[in-house]
Every structure is written in C-alpha cells, then in structure tokens.
A = this chain, B = another copy of it.
Amino acid sequence: MAKRTSKLKIIPLGGLYEIGKNITVIEYKGDIIVIDCGLAFPEDEMLGIDVVIPDITYLLKNREKIKGIVLTHGHEDHIGALPYVLKKINVPVYGTKLTLGLVENKIKEHKLKNTKLRVTKPGQKIKLGCFEVEFIRTSHSIPDSVALAINTPVGVVVHTGDFKVDYTPINGEVMDLHRFAELGKKGVLVAMADSTNVERPGYTMSERTVGSTFIDIFKTAKQRIIVATFASNIHRIQQIINAAVMYNRKVVVSGRSMVNVVKVARELGYLDVPDGTLIDINDMNKYALDEIVVITTGSQGEPMSALSRIASSDHKKMELVPGDLVIISATPIPGNEKTVAKVINQLFKKGANVIYETLADVHVSGHACQEELKLMHRLLQPKFFIPVHGEYRHLKQHAQLAEELGMDKENIFVAENGSVIEFTKDEGKFAQNVPAGNILVDGLGIGDVGNIVLRDRKHLSEDGLIIVVVTITKEEGKVVAGPDIISRGFVYVRESEDLMEEAKNVVKEVLDECQKNKITDWATLKSSIRDALRNYLYEKMKRNPMILPIIMEV
C-alpha cells in the first residue's frame, strides 16, 4: 500500500472527449492541485440547459487535500465553472492578472465572498503542498495565457494549456520557448498538450496577419465599420482599435460582455487605447458614418447578442445603414454555422456589406496546428504523453502524431474524463476510474435536470403533448366530469376540431369499457386511455405525442 500511494496521479475530470469544461487533478499522497475549472456549452440534445459543469465528486471527497486551483487562461472552458466549484470548495485560485480579472467579474455576478485570488506572473513559481508550479508564457487568443510546469516528487509535469506559436504576438511578449527547451533538456516526465487543431497540417498564422487585413479593409471603407469578434480576444480588439486610430475613426463598444472585457482589460493595462478614441454609443450620432468603428459581440450569431439585434433591427441604440460594412472576425464554433449564416443573410438584406472568413482573412485560430505541436513535443521530449483538450478523434490523432515523432505507444495515454493515470519515475499506467461527468445547469438548478427530464423535453419538442383529464367518483369510478382533452405543440386546435372530438370519443369508449368491466384502478385506466389514444393518433397521423391521462376523484 505504501508503494501505491507514492505514485503521482493525473486525473482529468473534464476536457477529454469534448472541447470544453477543462479540469485536471494532479495528486501526490496528501496533496492535490487542480488545473483549470471550465464549463462547457450544452450539446444539442441538452434541451433548455444553460451550461454544463464538471462532476467534482472526487474533489469533494478529497477536499482536505486540495492546495489550490491553478488557471492557464481566462476562457470560459477554463474558468467558467469556478463560481460553482468555489461555492463548495473555497481554496486559493492562482492565475495571471488578466485571467483573475475575468474571474473576479464572475465572482461578483455569483455574489461569492471570501474567495482567495492570487495573481501570479509568467516566470513565477509557487509552492502548493509537495508541488512547485511554474507559470510559463504562451500565445493564445486571449492575453496572459500560460502553460504550467509542475515539479512533483516523481518528476516534472508540463501542461501546455491552450496555445499556438506566435512569433510576432501583438503585445510583443513572445511565448517562452527557451523555458520549454530548458525543461525538455532537464527532463520532462509527463506532457499534456492542447489537441484542438491536431487535424490541421502546417502552422496557425500569427494574430498579426488579421491586423493587416483590417488595415486593408479600413483603408477603403466608405461608411461605418462594425466588427464582431470574441470579447475575450483582446489582441484582436487592440488591432481593431489600432486600425481605427490609423484611419481617424472613433470606437464604440457594444454588447455586455464586450463592454465588460474592454473595461477589465483597460484597467489592467492589456488594452492600449489613445485618449478620445472610445466614445459612448449614445454619442455615435454626433459623428459621420465614416468616422465610426463599432466593436461588438455576436460573432457566433447568438440570438440575443448585439450583432443579432443590429441585424434584426432590434438594437436600441444603433440602426444599420445600407452601405455599412460588417466584419465577422471569427469562425463559427461547430454547431453555430447556421445561426451565423442567418445573421449574415439578415445583414446583407439590410444592405450591409459583410466580410467573413469565407471571403477574407479576418480570423486566425488560437490553437497550434500540427507543425507547432511537433515543435512543442520536440522541445519538451517528455517520457509520457497525455493528449488533452479535444474530442476523441483529436486525442487519438494527437497520440498518432506523438508516435510519428518516435514516442513509444505504451507511453502515450489516451484517457477519458475520470481516468486515473499513475506515474512513477519510470512507469505510467491506468488505474481505476473515478466519478466524472456532466452536471447540467438550468436556471438556478444545478444537476436537477437529468436524462429523464431531457428525454421528456425531447419528446415534447418533437411531438407535443395531449392531456386527458377525467373526474370519476371514488366509489364506483363513474365519470362525472370530462373527459377533456387539451393539447400543446401538437396541432392547430382550431383547424383540428374534428380530430380532437374523435380523440375524445376514443377516450369515452375506453372509459365506458372500463366502467362495464368494473375497472377502477388508476394505473389500468390510465394505460388503457394512453394505449387507445396513441394507436388512434398514430394510425390517423403517424405521430406520437406525449399522452398524459389525469384522473381526479371526487
């Protein structure tokens, strides 16, 4: 037993087989640190769900061991579940300045108190139990992103966080390639690396290339320019502002999260905005159309976002003018293709010119492509490798890439959420899984919507429902009121009166039959009604609504 506890455990509780809710446990004897604490956005089949957070049963069971949560960067899939988790386990949270600035916003929204946020700088090392955690600067689509080198009793673990290799980053702070090289030279036991773009050959272009495109576009724009992008992509926002300043345009910021992030980023010194450049949206009308650039949310076609409101003439403070130029500086996240296309169509219909990724280089990814991943693998030359941050196909292909670079297949661990991988200095192997999974958040309810509820929602969404109510006497089961039939999401009631009348007759027949046979128990009555009505409707319409018989007794 003593031997067993002296192994290092790496336990991904989220982020594998999915892009989202990244959270990884690093454990040695009595010490645990947690890397990231993200949320995921609901899958199509999770009807009505707001967000998805990781199941942290394992952390709750081992709460006294947890020395802290360490964040790699400020994206939702890395920090979004923090408020939920901190409510249950209030441990110190370590991250860079901007990352914690964004966390602080969330904490305020959730009205959490007494949280312990500890700002850490790239290059800094912190001691957490038996672990020493070093923050290493990387490049990503949000500033202040870091990788982590974790010095453990059995060796060094490197987690890349989300990264790309940008040799010409906007803020001039190049990722710390030297440190990755040093670590690799000294010896890395385990590497965990971002798998998002492993399917893409070559290199991800520098963020700077987008800036060149902006300048080209701004140069010839004759009217207002509206740029939609991710609020967290502060380098992108900086480049929009730079191009605006270059062509003497004022900048308006629109959309709640855009306003928030710009505020935080300016306060913390991550955005360089010359005085007088930003103007209030209410003052926009004081300027000519060709003196304005609007930076807005809504690049994913989110129905409630500022851009969608502009497109559907539903924005309170801004109306599109034919000839305005809209730039969608983003790629649709898988699943959002149609909503984005819808907004583009609406904008065109309103007479705007719209530029999007299909038409010009107005976006680059924040994740490393194959050649960048190979660089990272070569620099770190780890003994063991765990691909992270990806669907199964990404993890699998990242494992293949590592193999092609010469790693032993046995040293590569394609894990799942809840996997426990145990390491000694010389050996790594899978141990028994721990609980992991999705906790669905719907309104204030956390985890109270599960498979049965979702199955019902799906059924209701596709076929609607029919309610049959009947009041019977307690003693003899004689019908004294009803049957009444109410439907929702099924057919236009007005145009289907005959159908509903016939359905009522079907129920009446069932009730008569039951009365005749002296059947009064509810279960039999209900299932008889349900069966008869289901058969009738399927025969008649090839549809299968949810049928809810309700019996009242007087």
Chain A contacts with B in 435-488, Cβ cutoff 8 A: 442-445, 448-450, 452-454, 456-465, 467, 469, 471, 480-482, 484, 486, 488
Judge if A536 is at the interface, Cβ distance under 8 Å.
no
B residues within 8 A CB of A200?
358
B residues within 8 A CB of A344?
393
Judge if A519 is at the interface, Cβ distance under 8 Å.
no
Known contacts A496-B448, A552-B481, A348 near B461 by CB under 8 Å: no
B residues within 8 A CB of A552?
469, 471, 481-482, 484, 552
Judge if A118 is at the interface, Cβ distance under 8 Å.
no
In the bound assembly, the distance between CA atoms of A553 and B456 in angstroms comes to: 29
Residue of B nearest to A50 (CB): B542
A48→B486 contact, CB < 8 A: no
B residues within 8 A CB of A489?
47-48, 453-454, 456-457, 459-460
B348→A338 contact, CB < 8 A: no
In the bound assembly, the distance between CA atoms of A306 and B463 in angstroms comes to: 25
Judge if A554 is at the interface, Cβ distance under 8 Å.
yes
B residues within 8 A CB of A514?
none
Known contacts A341-B334, A345-B391, A543-B443, A554 near B457 by CB under 8 Å: no
B393→A471 contact, CB < 8 A: no
Judge if A430 is at the interface, Cβ distance under 8 Å.
no
Residue of B nearest to A450 (CB): B492
Known contacts A393-B341, A460-B460, A552-B552, A445 near B491 by CB under 8 Å: yes
Output the least CB separation between A433 and chain B (Å): 16
Output the least CB separation between A302 and chain B (Å): 14
Chain A contacts with B in 88-130, Cβ cutoff 8 A: none
In the bound assembly, the distance between CA atoms of A452 and B480 in angstroms comes to: 32
A460→B465 contact, CB < 8 A: yes
In the bound assembly, the distance between CA atoms of A464 and B495 in angstroms comes to: 25
In the bound assembly, the distance between CA atoms of A458 and B489 in angstroms comes to: 8
In the bound assembly, the distance between CA atoms of A460 and B492 in angstroms comes to: 16
Residue of B nearest to A543 (CB): B443
B residues within 8 A CB of A318?
none
Q: How large is the interface on A (under 10, 10 to 19, 20 to 34, 35 or more residues)?
A: 35 or more
Residue of B nearest to A481 (CB): B552
Judge if A164 is at the interface, Cβ distance under 8 Å.
no
A548→B467 contact, CB < 8 A: yes
B462→A457 contact, CB < 8 A: yes
B348→A484 contact, CB < 8 A: no
A341→B488 contact, CB < 8 A: no
Judge if A409 is at the interface, Cβ distance under 8 Å.
no
Interface string of A340-362 (1 = CB under 8 A from B): 01001100110000100011000
Output the least CB separation between A53 and chain B (Å): 16
Chain A contacts with B in 380-434, Cβ cutoff 8 A: 391-393, 396
* 19 additional contacts (CB under 8 A) given A200-B358, A471-B552: A44-B338, A47-B462, A47-B489, A48-B461, A48-B462, A335-B337, A344-B393, A348-B392, A443-B541, A444-B541, A445-B541, A448-B495, A450-B492, A453-B491, A456-B489, A467-B467, A467-B548, A481-B552, A481-B553
Q: Can you spell out 26 A-B residue pairs with CB atoms less than 8 angstroms apart?
A: A17-B345, A47-B489, A334-B337, A334-B341, A335-B337, A345-B393, A348-B392, A354-B393, A442-B543, A448-B492, A448-B496, A452-B492, A453-B489, A453-B491, A454-B489, A456-B489, A457-B489, A458-B461, A460-B461, A460-B488, A461-B461, A467-B550, A481-B553, A484-B552, A486-B550, A488-B548
- A residues contacting B by CB (< 8 A) are 17, 43-44, 47-48, 199-200, 334-335, 337-338, 341, 344-345, 348-349, 354, 358-359, 391-393, 396, 442-445, 448-450, 452-454, 456-465, 467, 469, 471, 480-482, 484, 486, 488-492, 495-496, 540-543, 546, 548, 550, 552-554
